[in-house]
Amino acid sequence: MIYIGSKIFHTQKQLEKYTKDLIYNNLNTSININNENWEFFNNLFNRHYERTWFGTIKEIIFESSGKYYKPTVYCDKGIETISINHCITGRKPTYKERLSKVMRALIEPEIINYKLDNHECCNYCGSDCNLECDHIEPFCQIRDDFLAFFGEPIDDFRWSENNRLISKNYLFNNAWKSFHSKNATFQMLCKKCNNKKSNK
């Protein structure tokens, strides 16, 4: 049994369906204390593993992003984008998942620079819509090769001033950025082609 405020769900699948239907019916709607669905969503977000970090929630707005729904949350820490799946499952990400998030954040400037210089069209179909930067050799392979060579940092992670999860191990950070820069190759793909590649 899963209790979300006054509502009771027998399975996680039931909670997921109810949540997604409610989000669909409230797209681009300001959900705050005056909204009839406020109690449900506020209690749902209480299941998020970082709930205590972002403090009091003041407003939630759901926007459609393809087949996904992106919640923009206005809270004590500012404006956050929070995973609905983490709220539904109530699961805390593993150390490896958090480490991957940190490692992706460290290479973001390199990704941005590539996008600025290479934004013409999709390398597969030629489309110029919804372009994304893709690792030709998968990011997870480059990450694992680096960790096998360098080892995993033994420290935990902390939040930066701009609300990013970061490592305090600067030797690790610099070694990873250098390794990625030397070993990663990119291409621009449209969202559709990138999703097809990722699902293979």
Instruction: Say how many Å lie between the first and final Cα of the chain, rounded.
Output: 35
Q: What is the pLDDT of residue 197?
A: 80
Q: What is the pLDDT of residue 79?
A: 81
Average pLDDT over residues 172-190: 95
Contact present, 132 and 190 (Cβ < 8 Å): yes
Contact present, 187 and 119 (Cβ < 8 Å): no
Q: Which two tokens stand for residue 189?
A: 């793909």
**pLDDT higher at 156 or 171:** 171
Among the ranges given (9-13, 14-18, 51-55, 114-118), the one the predictor scored with the smallest mean pLDDT: 51-55
2-89 folds as Nuclear Transport Factor 2; Chain: A, (3.10.450)
Task: Give the pLDDT confidence of 84-133 residue by residue, as tens digits.
Answer: 888 898 888 788 888 898 899 899 999 999 998 887 899 999 998 888 89
Please state, in angstroms and rounded to a whole number, the distance separating the CA atoms of residues 128 and 200.
23
Ranges in the chain annotated CATH 3.10.450.40: 2-89
Task: Please give the distance of CA 70 from its chain centroid, rounded to a whole number.
Answer: 10
Of 72, 28, 33, 32, give the one whose Cα is nearest residue 54: 72
Task: Please give the distance of CA 21 from its chain centroid, rounded to a whole number.
Answer: 21
* Confidence (pTM): 0.64
The rounded radius of gyration (Å) of the Cα atoms in the chain is 19
